[in-house]
């Protein structure tokens, strides 16, 4: 199946997006999940809404519940270019222009019928599972949603790694909340009794998929890189970060994906882009920060048109830092969920984030660090100029800074971003001390 991309230049010929088997698989999985979410009146399964960082998908599945992720809905609406209207709607209803646009896109979506990408209305959640991990806004977001839905809400507070480490006390606190608050709430809402062996089974499945995900992400250490670890990476993390971690579908997706990347490596191919294989790789970048979703294709094109490939990114660690060795562990199920939550990228302190980016710069042989600073995301953005200085100082490689937003189209200025990127690529060329290599 092919999808026509949004045309970037009116005069350019429309090209068909290339789809590989893993992409088709993921698309089917997402569609099926939305179909399940929008047909709860028929099948009766209960719905938990929760967040990507600190997502407890395996636990939710233990109660036969469906997982609805408002961040993902906002992203979907951003990519479908309808988030702007939702944000405007939320602002009309009194929400400040200064706050997170995911929140406003979600609230605006609810105000306008809560229509899912399949055209059917999303159900009211039966439980708001407030996994308070790495982002202050999450707390307020679900307090606001609670006002809309008036449904049970349970908070899982995940302590921040302020001192750059996790402690026994932090872990015990999370496990205790799982046992005494979260699991009982899920039992009450679903009517299903918790079975820890069922959880172990899902976690075992998760770990298999996580192995393959890490292999895929680390394939970008090769030259040429067979993947783009940011624009492509956001698709690769999709199943594991959302409603599929712990399912055979996710394991199968990553098996397919890994085989495709192995084949690309064997053939010496670069990443697949919406316009086909990326032919030349002049710049290897590490990217910090989430992407812009409203002009995602246009944004990506600015990179591959100039031969820039992203070899590692921090955003693809926001739902788990599996490449640092963490795996969900069926032998320590609740402790493992606690460790997972504490380890997500935005729950790490600034020095840890800098260390990680420096490590990526080194291990992925990057030419530079690019920061995409998101206007409405303080969790990521506050401190990014410090990150830029430190990584530049430690690696001697040039860093650059661009500013966009998550799902607010008003804050994506294509001309500005493109100018900055082109200047940055020139800076890398100068730093290399030689003319750019042939395309």
Partner 1 sequence: MPAPTTAALVTRCQALFDDLSFGAAREWKAAAAGRRVVAYMPIYVPRELIHAAGMLPLGILGAGENLEVIHGDAYYQSYICRIPRSTLDLGITGRLDFVDGFLFPSICDVIRNLSGIWKILFPKVYVHYFDVPQNFDPEVGGVFYRQELQELREALARLAGRPITDDALRASFALYNQNRRLVRELYAFRAGAPWRAPASETYLVLRAGMVLPVEEHNQLLADYLAAARAEERPRRDNCRIVLNGVFCEQPPLSMIKAIEMSGCYIVDDDFMLVHRWLLEDLPVTGDPIAALSTAFLSGSTENGAKYQPRQELKGQYILEAVRANAAEGVIFAAPSFCDPALLERPMLEKVLDRVDVPHIGFKYAENSAQLQPVREQAGTFADSIKLWSTP
Looking at beta carbons only, is 95 or 198 nearer to partner 1? 95
Closest to 230 measured CA to CA, from 269, 263, 190, 271? 271
Looking at beta carbons only, is 153 or 280 nearer to partner 1? 153
Looking at beta carbons only, is 131 or 247 nearer to partner 1? 131
Contact status, residue 394 vs residue 356, Cβ threshold 8 Å: no
Q: What angle do CA 327, 329, 332 make, to 5 degrees?
A: 140
Alpha-carbon dihedral sign for residues 44, 49, 52, 54 = negative
Looking at beta carbons only, is 94 or 433 nearer to partner 1? 94
CB of residue 203 to partner 1, shortest distance in Å: 23
Report d(CA 439, CA 431) in Å as an integer. 18
CB of residue 166 to partner 1, shortest distance in Å: 12
Contacts of 240 (CB under 8 A, 6+ apart): 206, 209, 210, 213, 250, 254, 319, 320, 322
Looking at beta carbons only, is 205 or 408 nearer to partner 1? 408
Both tokens of 145, joined, read: 């949603």
Looking at beta carbons only, is 21 or 136 nearer to partner 1? 136
Residue whose tokens read 């809402």: 189
CB of residue 77 to partner 1, shortest distance in Å: 20
Contacts of 228 (CB under 8 A, 6+ apart): 220, 271, 273, 278, 300, 303, 304, 309, 310
CB of residue 139 to partner 1, shortest distance in Å: 6
Looking at beta carbons only, is 93 or 279 nearer to partner 1? 93
Residue count of the chain, please give it.
Answer: 439
Looking at beta carbons only, is 7 or 167 nearer to partner 1? 167
Query: Phi and psi for 397 in degrees, rounded to 5?
Result: -100, 150
CB of residue 379 to partner 1, shortest distance in Å: 4
For partner 1, the binding residues (CB under 8 A) are 93-96, 98-100, 103, 132, 135-137, 139-141, 143-144, 146-147, 150, 153, 155, 157, 159-160, 162-163, 167, 169-170, 172-173, 176-177, 180-181, 349-351, 353-354, 373, 375-376, 378-379, 381-386, 390, 403
CB of residue 434 to partner 1, shortest distance in Å: 31
Q: Between helices 168-177 and 333-343, what is the axis angle to 10°? A: 120
CB of residue 40 to partner 1, shortest distance in Å: 22
Report d(CA 306, CA 197) in Å as an integer. 51
Report d(CA 396, CA 387) in Å as an integer. 13
CB of residue 257 to partner 1, shortest distance in Å: 32
Report d(CA 209, CA 181) in Å as an integer. 28
CB of residue 141 to partner 1, shortest distance in Å: 8
Looking at beta carbons only, is 157 or 420 nearer to partner 1? 157
CB of residue 115 to partner 1, shortest distance in Å: 23
Q: What angle do CA 37, 23, 35 make, to 5 degrees?
A: 15
Report d(CA 409, CA 392) in Å as an integer. 30
Report d(CA 417, CA 323) in Å as an integer. 30
Looking at beta carbons only, is 43 or 168 nearer to partner 1? 168
Closest to 315 measured CA to CA, from 281, 291, 285? 291
């Amino acid at each position: 199946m092919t999808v026509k991309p949004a045309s970037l230049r009116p005069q350019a010929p429309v090209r068909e997006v290339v789809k590989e088997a893993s992409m088709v698989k993921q698309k089917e999985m997402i569609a099926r999940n939305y179909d399940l979410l929008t047909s709860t009146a028929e099948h009766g399964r209960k719905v938990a809404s929760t967040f990507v960082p600190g997502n407890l998908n395996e636990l939710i599945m233990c109660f036969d519940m469906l997982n609805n992720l408002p961040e993902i809905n906002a992203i979907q609406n951003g990519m479908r270019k309808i988030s702007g209207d939702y944000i405007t709607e939320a602002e009309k209803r009194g929400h400040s222009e200064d706050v997170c646009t995911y929140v406003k896109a979600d609230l605006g979506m609810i105000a306008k019928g809560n229509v899912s990408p399949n055209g059917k209305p999303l159900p009211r959640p039966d439980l708001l599972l407030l996994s308070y991990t790495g982002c202050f806004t999450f707390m307020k977001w679900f307090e606001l949603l609670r006002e809309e839905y008036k449904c049970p809400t349970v908070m899982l507070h995940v302590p921040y790694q302020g001192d750059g480490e996790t402690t026994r006390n932090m872990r015990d606190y999370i496990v205790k909340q799982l046992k005494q608050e979260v699991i009982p709430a899920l039992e009450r809402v679903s009517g299903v009794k918790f079975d820890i062996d069922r959880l172990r089974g899902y976690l075992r499945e998760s770990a298999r998929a996580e192995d393959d995900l890490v292999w895929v992400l680390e394939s970008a250490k090769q030259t040429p890189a067979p993947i783009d670890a940011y624009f492509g990476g956001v698709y690769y993390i999709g199943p594991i970060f959302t409603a599929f971690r712990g399912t055979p579908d996710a394991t199968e997706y990553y098996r397919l994906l890994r085989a495709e990347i192995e084949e690309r490596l064997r053939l010496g191919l670069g990443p697949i882009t919406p316009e086909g294989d990326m032919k030349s790789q002049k710049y290897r970048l590490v990217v910090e920060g989430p992407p812009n979703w409203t002009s995602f294709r246009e944004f990506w094109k600015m990179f591959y048109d100039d031969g820039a490939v992203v070899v590692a990114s921090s955003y693809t660690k926001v739902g788990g830092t599996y490449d640092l060795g963490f795996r969900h562990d069926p032998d320590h199920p609740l402790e493992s969920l606690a460790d997972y939550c504490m380890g997500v990228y935005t729950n790490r302190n600034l020095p840890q984030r800098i260390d990680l980016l420096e490590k990526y710069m080194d291990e992925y042989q990057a030419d530079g660090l690019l920061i995409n600073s998101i206007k409405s995301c303080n969790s990521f953005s506050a401190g990014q100029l410090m990150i830029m200085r430190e990584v530049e100082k430690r690696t001697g490689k040039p860093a650059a800074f661009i500013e966009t937003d998550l799902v607010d189209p008003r804050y994506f200025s294509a001309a500005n971003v493109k100018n900055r990127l082109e200047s940055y690529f020139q800076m890398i060329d100068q730093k290399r001390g030689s003319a750019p290599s042939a395309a």
